[in-house]
């Protein structure tokens, strides 16, 4: 079963997954991740391990491109309310909503950057 299929099953089962890093914001090697979901079910250890692995790989790999946008104030308010329900606090930092995660081809990225500069 592929990675996309696993992620789809996790999202289908739980609706939404919130990941909070209680570790260092500035040092991705010091992550202390907590997972919470919209459903009444708990996140299984295999699902949590998969998500944790993806997040750590994305932080340390130069071959992943993570696209995102700053969350607007209304979305931040909704996130803050959801985190309060889950007993989590939200630090006064900008929050980013991930819009895409994809493998990066370094040669293609370099070519695109050069074309933009020319």
Output the pLDDT for position 78.
75
Contact 14, 51 (CB under 8 A): no
Could you tell me the mean pLDDT of each successive run of 10 residues in the chain, 118 residues long? 77 79 65 77 84 75 70 73 75 68 77 85
Query: What is the pLDDT at residue 28?
Result: 61
Q: Domain segments of the chain: what residues? A: 1-60, 68-118
Instruction: Please tell me whether residue 23 adopts helix, strand or coil conformation.
Output: coil
What pLDDT does 29 receive? 64
Give the pLDDT score at 27. 65
Task: Enter the tokens of residue 60.
Answer: 């340390």
The pLDDT score that the predictor gives to residue 91 is: 65
């Amino acid at each position: 079963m592929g990675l996309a299929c696993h992620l789809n099953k996790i999202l289908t089962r739980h609706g939404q997954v919130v990941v909070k890093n209680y570790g260092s914001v500035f040092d991705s090697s010091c992550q202390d991740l907590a997972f919470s979901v919209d459903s009444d079910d708990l996140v299984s250890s295999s699902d949590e391990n998969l998500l944790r692995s993806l997040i750590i790989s994305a932080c340390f790999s130069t071959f992943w491109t993570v696209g995102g946008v700053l969350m607007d104030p209304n979305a931040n308010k909704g996130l803050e309310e959801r985190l309060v329900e889950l007993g989590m606090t939200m630090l006064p930092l900008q929050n980013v909503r991930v819009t895409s995660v994809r493998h990066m081809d370094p040669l293609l990225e370099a070519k695109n950057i050069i074309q933009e500069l020319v």
